Amino acid sequence: MEPILNSPFAIFACSLLLMWLSVRIGDVVRRRRPAKEEEREDLGVVTNASLTLLALVIAFSFSMAVNRYDQRKNYEEEEASAIGTEYVRAGLLPAAEATRVRQLLTQYLDQRILFYTVHSVPQLDRIASETAKLQSEMWSIVQDAATEHPTPPVALAVSGMNDVSSRQGHTGAAWLNRIPPGAWSLMAVLAVCCRVLVGYGRIARGVFCLRFCPLSSRLRSFS
């Protein structure tokens, strides 16, 4: 199930199949209990209102997705800047500690890149564990250096390490801040209901149940 959710093409194919099946269901219901002429006007109003509501939900969800994408992009940029800044500030530490911190920062950067490219849950758990281990080790080195050499340059290195840890937390929280499942469920239910109404209200027959009498008559009038 996880690879399907991470594949836009698979989701598109499943959605297209679901919408087509929904129209077919509406068509089957129409055949068994066709709408009367006096009911068609009310059915059209309900269908148009449902489609309008679906459009609003899609628009709001798209707006939420764009805002969250921009937030993640900004946090990723800030985290990359914090890691680069701390790599430079590590030179303010004593030589041995500076070399060790830079080695750990390089490994830490590799783990952060993997976090953005890997989608498997077990691998993400392993990356999170390794990231926390590297953070703890780097902080221990910087803390010991600050205790032995409480100077302003060393304090800058300590501040930079704090920024690295905090930015990683902000980025992780932003990656979990997705569109709520309730919004996806509401969108899916509305889409299915709208397609059922469309299939129930159609008059002209078509292979994919997508042709309607008003639209067909207009097209024939232009031809």
pLDDT digit string, tens, across residues 59-109: 999 999 999 999 999 999 999 999 999 999 998 999 999 999 999 999 999
131, 111 Cβ separation under 8 angstroms: yes
Our count of domains for the chain comes to 1
What would you measure as the largest C-alpha separation in the chain, in angstroms?
89
The domain that contains 162 carries what CATH number? 1.20.58
Parent domain of 90: 2-204
Residue 222 domain-assigned?
no
Residue 31 domain-assigned?
yes
Residue 217 domain-assigned?
no
Structure tokens at 76: 């990723």
Residue 220 domain-assigned?
no
Structure tokens at 173: 């929280």
pLDDT, residue 6, reads 67
User: Has this prediction a pTM greater than 0.85?
Assistant: no
Cα-based distances in Å from 134 to 104, 108, 156, 190: 7, 6, 20, 47
Residue 149 domain-assigned?
yes
Residue 223 domain-assigned?
no
Residue 74 domain-assigned?
yes
